[in-house]
């Protein structure tokens, strides 16, 4: 049987990083762009040892490029980690553990572990403070009864009821960043504190009117009501300001997220859903920077 040809991206990677040492040097150049810094004492002088390790003068401790990273205790080489990081950061869509396993010729379980470790670094992007015009909405992740076998159907799992589904809260700054978080429920006592923590006071928030009572005291709140088929409108004030009352942007983000889940992963468990949410937010918030900037940002997050 003719061997399947590897994708061009893999060939390019191998040309850029032909061995383990080249991958290590590249990562060190990104992590320590202004010189090696001790993870134990940032003010300390650092000495390079013959065995490739570094020594912190003030503490006397030794460290390597792996110290303090999510791959610190991994047996995999830096070249494998770098490939995985570049692939997950550089792709427009997500990459599955099966595909990564095939690319690196490693077990699928190992690839799954690598991707989840990388997602823990991506989570550092999912903490942006939002301001200005902010759209807020929740979505529910999980199968629909219509797609289930009759003996596996769940009572009252359609629409707003989230039995057998997982609710996810999201807020998007128009023209800016996204914040998203898996939540236990969609009650006001759960959602309102999240808004207050992640959206600057004085911002204009646009909601679907479901569970956000009480925001009007610190925010300018305007709502649509999908239950009454009111999906939004555009107002023009006396001074010519255009006010767009809609939650279309956050709803579009949820649509893309769900397509990613179905198209790449098919199914994700509730236990790990937040990590997939973090990956999606990372991709969204870095959509305006170059692929090289995105890769280096993720490499920096690896040790942040």
3-state secondary structure of 204: strand
Among 71-75, 226-230, 241-245, which stretch is predicted with the lowest mean pLDDT? Answer: 226-230
Taking 80 as the threshold, does the pLDDT of residue 231 lie above it?
A: no
Paired tokens of 281 = 């937010």
Mean pLDDT of the chain: 85
In angstroms, the CA 171 to CA 174 distance is: 10
pLDDT digits (tens, 9 = 90+) for 37-84: 999 999 999 999 989 899 999 999 999 999 999 999 999 999 999 999
Which DSSP symbol is given to 58? T
- Residue 235 β-bridge partners: 243
Interatomic CA distance for residues 119 and 101, integer angstroms: 17
The encoded tokens of residue 242 equal 């255009």
- CA-to-CA separations, 210 to 158, 204, 225, in angstroms, rounded: 16, 17, 8
Residue 5, pLDDT score: 41
Rounded to an integer, what distance in angstroms lies between the CA atom of residue 128 and that of residue 133?
14
CA distance 34 to 193: 39
Average pLDDT over residues 19-25: 95
Where do we find the tokens 């999908």?
A: 226
Q: What percent of the chain has pLDDT over 90?
A: 61
Quick: pLDDT tens for 267-298.
788 999 999 999 999 999 999 999 889 999 99
Residue 7 predicted with pLDDT over 50: no
User: Residue 148: pLDDT above 50?
Assistant: no
Give the torsion through C-alpha atoms of 257, 259, 264, 265, to 10 deg: 70
pLDDT in tens, 154-206: 455 444 555 678 999 999 999 999 999 999 998 889 999 999 999 999 999 99
Q: Kindly state the helix (H) or strand (E) to which residue 221 belongs, with its residue range.
A: strand 220-223
The three-state (H, E, C) secondary structure of 223-292, written as one string: ECEHHHCECCEEEECCCCCEEEECCHHHHHHHHHHHHHHHHHHCCCCHHHHHHHHHHHHHHHHCCCCCHH
Which residues face 155 on adjacent strands? none
Complete DSSP assignment for 100-142 = HHHHHT--HHHHHHHHHHHHHHHGGGTTPPB-SEEEEEEEEES
């Amino acid at each position: 049987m003719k061997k399947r040809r590897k994708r061009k991206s893999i060939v390019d990677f191998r040309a850029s990083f032909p061995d383990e040492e080249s991958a290590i040097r590249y990562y060190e150049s990104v992590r320590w762009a202004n010189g090696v810094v001790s993870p134990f004492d940032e003010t300390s002088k650092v000495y390079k040892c013959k065995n490739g390790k570094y020594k912190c003068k003030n503490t006397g401790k030794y460290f390597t490029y792996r110290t303090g990273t999510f791959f610190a205790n991994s047996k995999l080489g830096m070249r494998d980690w770098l490939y995985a990081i570049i692939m997950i950061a550089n792709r427009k869509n997500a990459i599955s553990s099966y595909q990564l396993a095939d690319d690196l010729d490693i077990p699928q379980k190992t690839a799954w572990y690598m991707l989840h470790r990388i997602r823990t670094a991506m989570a550092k992007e999912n903490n942006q403070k939002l301001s200005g015009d902010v759209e807020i909405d929740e979505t529910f992740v999980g199968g629909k009864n219509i797609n289930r076998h009759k003996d596996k159907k769940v009572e009252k799992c359609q629409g707003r009821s989230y039995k057998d589904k997982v609710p996810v809260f999201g807020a998007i700054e128009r023209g800016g960043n996204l914040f998203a978080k898996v939540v236990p429920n969609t009650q006001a006592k759960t959602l309102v504190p999240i808004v207050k923590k992640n959206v600057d006071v004085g911002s204009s928030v646009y909601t679907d009117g479901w569970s956000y009572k009480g925001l009007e005291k610190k925010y300018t709140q305007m709502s649509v009501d999908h239950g009454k088929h009111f999906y939004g409108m555009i107002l023009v004030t006396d001074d010519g300001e255009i006010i767009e009352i809609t939650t279309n942007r956050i709803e579009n983000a949820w649509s893309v997220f769900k397509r990613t889940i179905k198209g790449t992963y098919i199914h994700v468990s509730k236990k790990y859903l937040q990590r997939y949410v973090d990956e999606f937010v990372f991709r969204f918030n870095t959509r305006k920077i170059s692929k090289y900037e995105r890769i280096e940002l993720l490499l920096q997050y690896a040790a942040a």
